Structure 1
Amino acid sequence: METLRMKAIILSAGKGTRFKSEKPKVLHKLLGKPMIFYVKEAVKWIKPEEVIFVVGHKKEDVIKEINCKSCKFAVQEKQLGTGDAVKSSLEYWKDFDGYLLIINGDTPLIKGQTLKDAVNYLNALINYEGRQINDKNYQNKNIAGLVLTAKLDNPYGYGRIIKGKAGVIDKIVEEKDASPLEKQINEVNSGIYLIYAPFLKEALNKLTSNNKQNEYYLTDVIEILKNEGKYFYSFDVGDFTQILGVNDRWELSKAEKILKTQFLYFWAVNGATIHNPDTVWIDFDVSLDKDVEIYQGVSLRGETEVLEGSVIYENCVIINSKIGKNVKIYPNTVIENSVIQDNAEIGPFARIRNNTVIGENCSIGNFVEVKNSQIGSRTNAKHLTYLGDAEIGKNVNIGAGTITCNYDGVNKHKTIIKDGAFIGSDTMLVAPITIGENAYTGSGSVITKDIPDNALAVERAKLKILENYANRKKEKKEKNESC
């Protein structure tokens, strides 16, 4: 059985009025990706010879987001219905002797495997429906295509599938045009079609806008071709959530929840423990190794990677970062665009950002912020510290309250702290500055000059003790009050 030749048309021209947004509908995001992304990925499963996007509202933004040099883009100038949208792409398939997958760009839950199964089913129908046992070269020339359908308990809002003999589809009736009897039918149109291109080309010219919407319905093609002896069959997708369209922000939220649950399930069955999954957020591009443990309230965004054995505790946010093996991220920590190497401990209430690298076996503790810095292995900064634009070596101890004073009001400057240094609590390091190997700074010092290796730097006012000060102050106060 030969493989069917396929092209795909993805309808992406809708404005999405019910979103109440200037952004094109298909660019609204689920789990960090625009919904059109998920449709494009699903379509890849059928290996089409060409993918054609029909664009319209803010087409430049849609084309830029799709970012596909090999794809074709057709423009629907006016929103005149799905039939008009498909017709606007005619130049890219008018001479194509194969089948077209037509799918809406706002159905992000459709699975690639479902589309592949539908193509295989259509191929089987063409080669076996009505075939005689000895007819080896048989093909049913009357099969026009396939409509992907689902059965819903509440089919309100969807076009109903009207069938005749042997399961052949007679027509599809939109909700607004359906009779009371037709509205009782629970098999509905998904808006996904496989259609033989030459048949579709002829039928498009026969579409009319004689309906309550005054639009050209692609669904009318089914009845037009049936009247010419060419038939459509249905393919039940099984899981009706796959065909859920996204027409407003609430439907976007519901679709996103379904997609998130699918992703969390995927990571769980592949070896990650996810506590209280309803509260956990994981974007599409996130990657988790086995034996990763995620606690409630965690948000993993962008291209974040968490390696084997790491634990991320409650309410952490990690964005576009790599977390090494056996790392512990304690509660309420935020990590952005950074790398945490193996066996490090971060938090609680820490912030790591702007291309920071935290070395192996480091400890970055509570209320510590590290920005655009390189921290060597086995270095500790356990509390109440700011390290910005710094290069810190191995085995360094950063005392509580330490600040790298990196900004002079105009430019940022670098602080270098070499291996083995000990920075006393409440030290101010005024950059640019270098602290040598095994050097010490005294607590409360403001260091403005480079410190050589093995030296101690202390900069603070000399301690003065005024004995009996409290009694003298009390006597003075009592004297003033008696006057």
Structure 2
Amino acid sequence: MTEQNRPLDVVILAAGQGTRMKSSLPKVLHPVAGRPMVAWAVKTARDLGARQVVVVTGHGAEQVEAALRGTGVVFARQAQQLGTGHAFLQGLGALDAQAGADVLVLYGDTPLLRPETLRELLDDHRARGSAFTVLTGELPDATGYGRIIRDAHGRVERIVEQKDATAEERAVQEFNSGVYLMDARARDLARRITNDNAGGEYYLTDLLGLYRAEGADVQAFKLADPGEVMGANDRSGLADAESIIRRRITQAHMRAGVTIPMPETVYIEDTVQVGRDVTLEPGVILRGQTRIDEGVTVGAYSVVTDSVLERSVKIKAHSVLEGAQIGAGSDVGPFARLRPGTTLGEQVHIGNFVETKNAQLASGVKAGHLAYLGDVTIGAETNVGAGTIVANFDGVNKHRTQIGAGVFIGSNSTLIAPRAVGDAAFIAAGSALHDDVPEGAMAVARGKQRNIEGWSRRYWGGLREKVQVKLPWLAGWLDRQR
């Protein structure tokens, strides 16, 4: 086995309580750009090609494990919070032993650490033949971090925690990130860590000294950007991490050919796929397993979640899509709402204030204004008039309506489900359908109009005093009728 092809195991420490978050949600489950913070560490480990990934849980263990179930990770419980060294030992115990495997330590609350940085760390560690490499950075004021103490020759000698450091050591600008890469000896050496320190904890940092005592080569790999290991310890830090990752995501999409005129206003989760020549107008939010094909425009302040937008779709401003599939060349909005189960064929038009739910609309369907289409299948080239309602709920159960191709539905019609409307049928405006409509038929389901002459003068005349106060224009009209 060569240095470069040794297997890599990753232990992610995620047992802390995170009291500064002031939340009932475990700290590592607070989301950043669509993923819980700990899920970013898992993704990074997977991107590195890790053979095994162990997540050490403690506070809120059941919630953390539930959130990561299905990702292929193994869990280890730290029942008592006795320090990072103790947590690491629990993680090692859950790993399958394999001779020669390197072990990388990551954390569940540092979502900004990029796989590219860790790949450089791994390559440097193996190229030097190092036994233990610590990832370090430099800050003008490293308060809160452990410091890297070097000997007269510039070699890493030890790591001292802030609470144990002297005034001279606290002035050191090189800090310990807490990320370590070590060889297989870590399994044995970690058992020698003691809690003989000011905090009475088992510090993982003591591993460096134990490696040195073995005569092993210890190295440091310095970060170009120390901000990558910034932890999100409170809501402010969470917002900072969100901003940085969001900027990375939008920049990556723009480099890949996406137009985002105001990237600082756009929110795109890491799981979203966006094709070339897509335009995302200001205020757009893209979430979940959304896929946007080439040439799509998403209008200002629209929200798209778990949806597919095929080529050349146009989503107009202030539209909300969730669990929808939009066929090529269709347009939606403005102010439309497409709920889960909505599927639009090609060249479908959904206009302003139209809502769909579990609705399948074939190619060329038009629903331009103020309609509710729930639990319905609509055939090709059907026109849905303004104010149309598919009344799918009877108070107990939902029912489905089938509407054929080439149907004309007049404005302000109500289809009381379950209904079937045949191809090329015509529904007169204002109809309330409680029966099926055969193919090619016209349905008229409304009462006959009756005009009662002089009704307004008799009715409102009896209320003239109140009318004078609240509706002076009507009082004037009544006076003119005398």
- Deviation track 1:361-410 (CA, whole Å, cap 9, x = no partner) reads 11111111111111111111111111111111111111111111111111
Q: Which range moved further: 339-348 or 90-99? A: 90-99
1:151 maps to 138
Separation (CA, whole Å) in 1 of partners of 2:168 and 2:381: 78
Q: Secondary structure at the match of 1:373?
A: strand
2:58 maps to 56
1:453 maps to 439
The correspondence of residues 348-427 of structure 1 with structure 2, limited to 5 A, is 348-427=334-413
Q: What amino acid is the match of 2:352?
A: N
Q: CA shift at 1:2, angstroms?
A: 3.2
User: Which residues of structure 2 form unaligned runs of 5+?
Assistant: 469-478
The correspondence of residues 67-466 of structure 1 with structure 2, limited to 5 A, is 67=69, 71-91=73-93, 92=95, 96-126=99-129, 143-198=130-185, 201-202=188-189, 204-211=191-198, 213-466=199-452
1:68 to 1:453, Cα distance in 2 relative to 1, 3 A:
closer
**Does the CA contact (< 8 Å) of 2:193 and 2:202 recur in 1?**
no
1:70 to 1:96, Cα distance in 2 relative to 1, 3 A:
farther
1:31 maps to 33
1:95 to 1:202, Cα distance in 2 relative to 1, 3 A:
farther
What TM-score does the superposition give when structure 1 sets the normalisation length? 0.90
Separation (CA, whole Å) in 1 of partners of 2:389 and 2:72: 52
Separation (CA, whole Å) in 1 of partners of 2:74 and 2:402: 53
Separation (CA, whole Å) in 1 of partners of 2:64 and 2:12: 12
Q: CA shift at 1:214, angstroms?
A: 2.2
Q: CA shift at 1:111, angstroms?
A: 1.5
Q: CA shift at 1:444, angstroms?
A: 1.2
Q: CA shift at 1:223, angstroms?
A: 3.0
Q: CA shift at 1:30, angstroms?
A: 1.1
**Does the CA contact (< 8 Å) of 1:393 and 1:420 recur in 2?**
yes
Q: Secondary structure at the match of 1:342?
A: coil
**Does the CA contact (< 8 Å) of 1:332 and 1:347 recur in 2?**
yes
Q: CA shift at 1:93, angstroms?
A: 6.7
Q: CA shift at 1:236, angstroms?
A: 1.1
Q: Secondary structure at the match of 1:274?
A: coil
1:19 maps to 21
Q: Secondary structure at the match of 1:14?
A: coil
Q: Secondary structure at the match of 1:89?
A: helix
Q: CA shift at 1:476, angstroms?
A: 6.9
**Does the CA contact (< 8 Å) of 2:266 and 2:282 recur in 1?**
yes
Q: Secondary structure at the match of 2:449?
A: coil
Q: Which range moved further: 279-288 or 35-44? A: 35-44
**Does the CA contact (< 8 Å) of 2:85 and 2:190 recur in 1?**
no
**Does the CA contact (< 8 Å) of 1:353 and 1:371 recur in 2?**
yes
Would you say 1:2 and 2:3 are equivalent positions? yes
Q: Secondary structure at the match of 1:88?
A: helix
**Does the CA contact (< 8 Å) of 1:204 and 1:221 recur in 2?**
no
Separation (CA, whole Å) in 1 of partners of 2:299 and 2:41: 34
1:137 maps to none
Q: What amino acid is the match of 2:321?
A: I
RMSD across aligned C-alpha pairs, in angstroms?
Answer: 2.5
- Deviation track 1:126-154 (CA, whole Å, cap 9, x = no partner) reads 2xxxxxxxxxxxxxxxx531000112233
Q: CA shift at 1:195, angstroms?
A: 1.9
Q: Secondary structure at the match of 1:332?
A: coil
2:473 maps to none
Q: What amino acid is the match of 2:339?
A: R
- Deviation track 1:418-471 (CA, whole Å, cap 9, x = no partner) reads 111111111111111112211111111111111112221112222223455556
**Does the CA contact (< 8 Å) of 2:411 and 2:430 recur in 1?**
yes
- Deviation track 1:224-256 (CA, whole Å, cap 9, x = no partner) reads 443554342110121222111122222122111
**Does the CA contact (< 8 Å) of 2:193 and 2:206 recur in 1?**
no
What TM-score does the superposition give when structure 2 sets the normalisation length? 0.90
**Does the CA contact (< 8 Å) of 1:353 and 1:372 recur in 2?**
yes
Separation (CA, whole Å) in 2 of partners of 1:103 and 1:309: 39
User: What's the % identity of the aligned pairs?
Assistant: 38
Separation (CA, whole Å) in 1 of partners of 2:71 and 2:359: 38
Separation (CA, whole Å) in 2 of partners of 1:274 and 1:7: 39
1:473 to 1:52, Cα distance in 2 relative to 1, 3 A:
closer
- Deviation track 1:155-201 (CA, whole Å, cap 9, x = no partner) reads 22211111114431111122222223222222111110012332562
1:373 to 1:179, Cα distance in 2 relative to 1, 3 A:
same
Q: Secondary structure at the match of 1:185?
A: coil
1:403 to 1:166, Cα distance in 2 relative to 1, 3 A:
same
Q: What amino acid is the match of 1:2?
A: E
Q: When the two structures are aligned, how many residues end up with a matched partner?
A: 465
**Does the CA contact (< 8 Å) of 1:168 and 1:231 recur in 2?**
no
**Does the CA contact (< 8 Å) of 1:406 and 1:413 recur in 2?**
yes
User: Which residues of structure 1 form unaligned runs of 5+?
Assistant: 127-142
1:342 to 1:95, Cα distance in 2 relative to 1, 3 A:
closer
1:296 to 1:209, Cα distance in 2 relative to 1, 3 A:
farther
Q: CA shift at 1:57, angstroms?
A: 2.1
Q: What amino acid is the match of 1:180?
A: A
